[in-house]
Amino acid sequence: MTPDKLSLSKDKIRVLLLEGINDSAVTLMRAAGYTNLTRLPKALDREALQEALQGVHMVGIRSRTQLDAAAFEAADRLLAVGCFSVGTNQVDLAAARDRGIPVFNAPFSNTRSVAELTIGEIVMLLRRIVPRSVGAHAGQWDKSAVGSLEVRGKTLGIVGYGNIGTQLSTLAEAMGMRVLFYDHTDKLRHGNTEPTASLHALLAQSDVVSLHVPETESTANMIGEAEIRAMKPGAFLINNARGTVVDLDALAAALRDGHLKGAAVDVFPVEPGSNAEAFVSPLQGIENVILTPHIGGSTEEAQERIGAEVARKLVDYSDIGSTAGAVNFPQVQLPARPTGTRFIHVQRNLPGMLGRLNDVFSRGQVNIAAQFYQTDGEVGYVVLETDATDADAEALLTEIRAIPGTIRARLLYERR
């Protein structure tokens, strides 16, 4: 069988991977033919990022890179974004969608890593291990049971009962904890967990509160002064979600005056862009506070899984037009073995768009063998499998691009 001819050959497709994305992504993309690949170990600041994005077709980032509207404006060739993370708050998803750019992520490849870290931190905090370890390193012998607690029988309050929250609840119950959760949508209860009617009801009953919500407008400063003071005296707070969720000054004050007995924080409102930059936080120097550099999902296993998962989604989009797993885009799952000459049309979700698109092919007397179509509120995504010949394809593409309401049109490949 004659091989497909991609409208843009793979060695011309420029891929930029930032923030030390795992080798598994590079291996998968190279094996799929994407060899024009640049990998940097760190995030880029605004100006450097805008410059670096010029001429790039696919970009891969983690949590630090901010892809705002100006970045998309500068990215003159960008086809797709891969967030090698769960969170996608670092990307202006609407700006990407308006330009016809799907954004992919890895929704649960590091779930277990975050849940395991949280369990470890609960034990460490209740036993006050960190200050005693620091003391022992400094020559102190603090052999005492005072202030050291078992986790069995304590109440864990989980805020955000999604993938991580539910995984954590399973592990915590196995250790004998009573688990409460608060989520703003109805959730299946795992094990013996119980939902609370409000956030404050959860805060008032929990010995440990662990946050697992995304960064959104509704979670910004969700745990402020009032919420921290609503926690039980002597309770512990863990934030392995996003830095914007907790007011760190209020938390520092509650730890210093003894209202809370400890905290573990992995995420911060402002985080250094690379390992070379200094990290500053109001929590530094407070006893029984575990500070970690946003490594909740940073295990070798998770990073390897994330690398392969997101790279696969980028390759599938570039190779066959599949948007399965996109977080800002209508999702179209396509057959792995495509046939015919394939066009992609990203359109405003307006009445009559599909008809106008089909008219182009009917005027050109080109048969549409299959059509895959999905819309969301703003955007429609169409993949057309046609009998167009090499000779017809470019002219058809020009006509498609001229349809009012077209965001982007692409000839994916021609079957010769």
Ligand X SMILES: O=C(O)CC[C@@H](O)C(=O)O
Give the active site residues: 242, 271, 294
Interaction residues for ligand X, span 267-296 (CB under 6 A): 294
Return the bridge partners of 98, or none.
none
Q: How many CB atoms lie within 10 A of CB 395?
A: 12
Interaction residues for ligand NAD, span 141-180 (CB under 6 A): 160-165
What is the DSSP-derived secondary structure letter of residue 9? Answer: -
Q: Which helix (H) or strand (E) holds 307?
A: helix 300-320
Closest among 203, 239, 246, 199 to 221, alpha carbons compared? 246
Among 53, 93, 156, 267, binds ligand NAD (CB under 6 A): 267
Q: What is the C-alpha separation between 237 and 155, in angstroms, rounded?
A: 12
For residue 98, the minimal CB distance to ligand NAD (Å) is 23
For residue 162, the minimal CB distance to ligand X (Å) is 12
Based on the shown chain and the rule CB under 6 A, indicate whether residue 85 belongs to the binding site for ligand X: yes
Between 81 and 231, name the residue whose CB sits nearer to ligand X: 81
Between 20 and 33, name the residue whose CB sits nearer to ligand NAD: 20
Q: Is the dihedral of CA 200, 201, 205, 211 positive or negative?
A: negative
Among 17, 28, 44, 86, binds ligand X (CB under 6 A): 86
Based on the shown chain and the rule CB under 6 A, indicate whether residue 63 belongs to the binding site for ligand X: yes
Among 82, 262, 297, 338, binds ligand X (CB under 6 A): 297
Closest among 109, 14, 107, 7 to 59, alpha carbons compared? 14
Which residue number is nearest to ligand NAD in terms of Cβ? Answer: 162
With CB under 6 A, what is the number of residues at the site for ligand NAD?
29
For residue 85, the minimal CB distance to ligand X (Å) is 3
For residue 23, the minimal CB distance to ligand X (Å) is 15
Based on the shown chain and the rule CB under 6 A, indicate whether residue 227 belongs to the binding site for ligand NAD: no
Q: Which two three-digit tokens encode residue 276?
A: 């070379």
Based on the shown chain and the rule CB under 6 A, indicate whether residue 66 belongs to the binding site for ligand X: no
Closest among 350, 326, 348, 332 to 412, alpha carbons compared? 332
What length does the chain have? 416
Based on the shown chain and the rule CB under 6 A, indicate whether residue 110 belongs to the binding site for ligand X: yes
For residue 113, the minimal CB distance to ligand NAD (Å) is 7
Closest among 351, 328, 346, 352 to 384, alpha carbons compared? 346
Q: What is the C-alpha separation between 315 and 336, in angstroms, rounded?
A: 12
What is the DSSP-derived secondary structure letter of residue 139? Answer: T
Name the site residues for ligand X (rule: CB under 6 A).
62-63, 85-87, 110, 294, 297
Name the site residues for ligand NAD (rule: CB under 6 A).
86-87, 110-111, 114, 160-165, 183-185, 212-216, 218-219, 240-242, 266-267, 294, 296-297
